[in-house]
Structures are given as C-alpha cells and as structure tokens.
Amino acid sequence: HHRRPFSVFNRPPPNYPGHVPLTRVERVSLALGSGVIHRPRPDLIAAFAEATSTPYFIPRLRDAMLRSPTGRRILRDRPRLTSSSLNLPRLRSLPPNTVGATYVSWLDREGVSPDTRPAVRYIDDEECAYVMQRYRECHDFYHALTGLPIVREGEVALKAFEWANTGLPMTGLSMFSALTLNRSGKKRFVQTYLPWALRNGWRCEEVINVYWEEELENDVKALRARLGVEQPPDLRDIRRKEREEKRMRRQLEEQQAGGRTA
C-alpha cells in the first residue's frame, strides 16, 4: 500500500485546530502573494510571517527555547497571553515600577488589546506553531519593555530589535518600511533606533524565553538589566517636541510675514 503524495487534491488532515496544510508550491505562492500586497492587512502579514518562517527559522527559535530551562517550561505549559489570562484590572493595581503595571499602562496609552493576535494556520509542526503564536502574543511585552509606541516609526524600530534577537525573516523585511517614513523619521531610524535595535537585539537574552506571566510583579528595570535590554530614547516625547518646534516655527514665520505686510 503506497501513501499518496501530498497535493492540493490529497491534503493531509490538520495537525492542530485551525491548521491548513500547504504544499511547497502553495507555501511559496502564499509568501509571494501576501508579501506584495501594498495595503497592510494583518491577516496577510501573519500569513507572510508563517510562510517565510519554515523550514528553518521557526524551528531555530523552538530549539532556542528547548536550550533554556524557562523556554522548556513555556513549551510544556503552553500558556496563552490574553486579557482574561493576564487579568488586566489586577495589573492596573500593581505598583508602577512592576512589569505588569508597565505593560498595562503601555496598552492603555496606545489603545491596544492583547486579544487581537491572529491564530497560526500555516505552520505544519504543532510545537513550532505554538512558538509562532507565543512570539505574536509577546510582541506587546517587547513594546512595553522598550517603551516604543505603535506608530510606524516605533514598530519599525521594534521589528529591527526582534529580527536581531529572533532571526524571523518577516521582522527583518519589515525594516524596509523605514523607507516610507518622513525625512526626520528616516534620519532618527538610521542614526539612533537601528543601531540601538541591532546592538540590543544581538547582545540581550533571547526574549522568547521570558515567562512573562511569572514576571508581572517583578521590577521592570531589574528585568531589563537581567535581559540586557537598554531603553531607546523616548520616541513619543521626541515626536511631540518635533511637532511643537514646527508649530512655533510656523507661528514665527506667520508673525514675520504679518509684520512685513503691516
């Protein structure tokens, strides 16, 4: 009895709920198709990340977890980061210096929720699929740890950090969106945030191995020190000051123009 080859017409059963087995041709097509869409769609970005993470990159990240005692516990326990599992009201009651309070205040300031991450569908190995899901759900903790906002400039800087730390291709390719930033944003990225991201991402501990659920009541500065992550300059503050300077320059120019016509 010969096993029929995997094809579009002979698709094997899913390996986990929601899994969509793909042929090699389908996987390449998915990567190319989702990668060339101009308008950013979260579902296509997620599909592109999954299609480009195998066969090498997500197994490498899984192996990094297996080398770490904490990473092995995460793989065994399979925790999920959601607003209910994290109990956001409790986090708001924690002292402001804690990881939990830093995280929830970042969520509140940016107006985002931990419940918006799409489920993994296109990674065949069930354990590797969990690793990708875990990476997605930890993304906002990386934001909170670094203080980077969700504006495009902040996302590009964080993706550069994630690429240096995880090696996932999608995070590296996301850095090209720096080309769409305005002139001052490009300059900041090249001079400040890209060097920060590469330096910190390469030298710090593998952030996929942080058991965030166990860190919530710990001091956030102590966690940064333990991981070897230094915070970059406050991007929201820099952008706010830049806007104020532009407004003041414009007012001054208007006053000068008014004085000349008077």
The structure's pTM equals 0.80
The span from the CA of 258 to the CA of 128, in Å, is 65
For the chain, the average pLDDT equals 86
**HSE of 74, CA atoms in CB hemisphere, 13 A:** 30
Instruction: Output 235 or 20, whichever has higher pLDDT.
Output: 235
The span from the CA of 78 to the CA of 134, in Å, is 8
The span from the CA of 2 to the CA of 194, in Å, is 53
Is 70 exceeded by the pLDDT of residue 5?
A: no
Domain ranges of the chain: 24-231, 234-262
Please state which of the ranges 77-86, 126-135, 181-190, 243-252 shows the lowest mean pLDDT: 243-252
Instruction: Work out the average pLDDT over 50-61.
Output: 78
**Confidence label for 197 from pLDDT (cuts 50, 70 and 90):** very high
pLDDT (tens digit per residue) in 69-111: 999 999 999 999 999 999 999 999 999 999 999 999 999 999 9
